[in-house]
């Protein structure tokens, strides 16, 4: 199985600040069709996960441009700028290039 | 508006089975994959498997191959997951999600296994 290593585990932030979350895979996430199926989600307390970024860098419908994704191969980053209160929660990366699909362990974004 | 409505909380005894449902509105499930994911108390997300409702083809994570059975009824736009031989460590919230990128999620169903 592809191991997704997400860092840091916990990320204290001040409102208005900028943060980055890293997600590294144990093997390349480039699919045979040429696409890279690495996605990012936010799970707020008591809620279902919500899609933020799909295929590395594409913002899902309604996601503000404060969220951006980048990376390639095995190394990926989610950046959040001008952090707002509604951004707090646990962020997960997911790879759906290989079966089984696998999630990172999560990064908790919390206030300093 | 796309909505996934999951069935209510279940309390199951060890050794029994439960069947969860996920009814989709605003999207034809024939046009997408349906994924199932679980989350044990205080833990992260774990992929169980997916079904292609158009043809019934399924793929499971190895550890769920004899635990979960995924089915779908395209006439009612609803997917199902049966969990068998329940054990205490099956206690979790189970989510359904559609689209290749898991763009839409159900609210989750809490399954509690207890005698």
Half-sphere exposure of A69 (CA within 13 A, CB side): 26
DSSP code string of B79-90: EEEEE-S--GGG
pLDDT of res. A80: 98
Residue B104's Cβ-count burial label (10 Å; 0-12, 13-18, 19+) is buried
Q: Picking from A10-19, A37-46, A86-95, B96-105, which range would have the lowest pLDDT averaged per residue?
A: B96-105
Q: CB–CB of A38/A77 below 8 Å? A: no
Average pLDDT value for residue range B14-43: 97
Query: Cα Rg for chain B, rounded, in angstroms?
Result: 13
pLDDT of res. A112: 93
- Long-range contacts (CB closer than 8 Å, 24 or more residues apart) made by A50-58: A50/B105, A51/B101, A51/B102, A51/B103, A52/A78, A52/A91, A53/A78, A54/B101, A54/B103, A55/B101
Query: Cα Rg for chain A, rounded, in angstroms?
Result: 13
CA distance B89 to A6: 24
Q: Would you say how long chain B is, in residues?
A: 115
Chain B residue numbers touching A100 (CB-CB < 8 A): 47, 49, 59-62
Q: Which residue of A has its CA nearest to B64?
A: A100
**Over the stretch A18-28, which tens digit does the pLDDT of each residue have?**
999 999 999 99
CA distance B86 to chain A (A): 22
pLDDT band at B67 (very low <50, low <70, confident <90, very high): very high
Per the CB < 8 Å rule, is A48 touching B47? no
**Over the stretch A90-102, which tens digit does the pLDDT of each residue have?**
999 999 999 999 9
Provide the mean pLDDT of chain B: 97
CA distance B25 to A104: 29
pLDDT of res. B111: 98
pLDDT of res. A1: 97
Dihedral sign (CA B52, B57, B61, B65): positive
pLDDT of res. A75: 98
Q: Does A89 touch chain B (CB under 8 A)?
A: no
pLDDT of res. B50: 97
Report the relative pairing of strands B92-98 and B109-113 from DSSP bridges: antiparallel
Q: Does A51 touch chain B (CB under 8 A)?
A: yes
**Over the stretch A37-70, which tens digit does the pLDDT of each residue have?**
999 999 999 999 999 999 999 999 999 999 999 9
Q: Does A45 touch chain B (CB under 8 A)?
A: no
Mutate to test the interface with B, among A9, A46, A48 (most CBs of B within 10 A): A48
Q: Picking from A79-83, B14-18, B58-62, B99-103, which range would have the lowest pLDDT averaged per residue?
A: B99-103
DSSP code string of A21-82: EEEEESS--B-TTS-B-EEEEEE-TTS-EEEEEETTTEEPTT--TTEEEEEETTEEEEEE-S
CA distance B104 to A101: 17
CA distance A38 to A51: 11
Dihedral sign (CA A25, B37, B83, B86): positive
Per the CB < 8 Å rule, is B103 touching A60? yes
Q: Does A31 touch chain B (CB under 8 A)?
A: no
Whether residue B100 has pLDDT greater than 90: no
pLDDT of res. A89: 98
Provide the mean pLDDT of chain A: 98
């Amino acid at each position: 199985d592809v191991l997704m290593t997400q860092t840091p585990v916990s990320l204290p932030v001040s409102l208005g600040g900028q943060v980055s979350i890293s997600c590294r895979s144990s093997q390349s996430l480039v699919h045979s069709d040429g696409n890279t199926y690495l996605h990012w989600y936010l799970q707020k307390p008591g809620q279902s996960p919500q899609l933020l970024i799909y295929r590395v860098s594409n913002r899902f419908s309604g996601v503000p441009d404060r969220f951006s994704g980048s990376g390639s191969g095995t190394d990926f980053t989610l950046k959040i700028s001008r952090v707002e209160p509604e951004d707090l929660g646990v962020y997960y990366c997911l790879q759906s290039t290989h079966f089984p699909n696998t999630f990172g362990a999560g990064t908790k974004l919390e206030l300093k | 508006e796309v909505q996934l409505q999951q069935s209510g909380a279940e309390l199951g005894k060890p050794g029994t089975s439960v069947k969860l449902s996920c009814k989709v509105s605003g999207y034809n499930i024939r046009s997408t994959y349906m994924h199932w994911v679980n989350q044990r108390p205080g833990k992260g997300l774990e992929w169980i498997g997916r079904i292609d409702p158009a043809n019934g083809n399924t793929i499971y994570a190895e550890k769920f191959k004899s635990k979960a059975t995924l089915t779908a009824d395209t006439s009612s736009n609803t997917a199902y997951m049966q969990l068998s031989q329940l054990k205490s460590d099956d206690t979790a919230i189970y989510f359904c999600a559609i689209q290749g990128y898991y763009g839409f999620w159900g609210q989750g169903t809490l399954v509690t296994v207890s005698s």
